[in-house]
Amino acid sequence: MDFEQYMRVALDLAVQAAEEGEIPVGCVIADGQGRVIGSGRNSRERSRSVTGHAEIMALEEACRARGDWRLDDCTLFVTLEPCPMCAGAMINARLGTLVYGAAEPLSGSAASILNLFEERYPGHTAIYGGILAEESRALLSEFFQKRRQPSSSGA
């Protein structure tokens, strides 16, 4: 499985999220045959929901596509290291593999703050971090720089 190929799809979703005013995070899930069965992008602002994370959207779609909550032969690709909520959902789905781009020093729960996947939960998730990390980080940096710029409306 070509990790970079799937991460580029996740990056495209992150760009779409940024265009909608959302923090640019994108996610795709591929099954054991490499078919994309779930995708998502951040939607917290639009949905006004704390669970509007790219990973949650992709996990829900993948479970519907499978007709099952177990994703043990699937790989989730996300542009930013998952938070505790998303990591917990992946653990509960018995996710086979997690691939992420940029580290998340404020809430990362696959390495940065802690690694929830190392705890004694059922199942085992293989983790690969830093895949297209620079592209993911640049997209996030650009988004937050634009957000901090003062409005030029003169009002």
Which sequence positions are flagged as catalytic? Answer: 55
Phi, psi of 24 (to 5 degrees): -75, 90
Q: Who's near 40: CB < 8 A, 6+ residues apart?
A: 13, 26, 27, 53, 54, 55, 56, 57, 58, 59, 60, 61
Distance CA(77)–CA(71), nearest Å, equals: 13
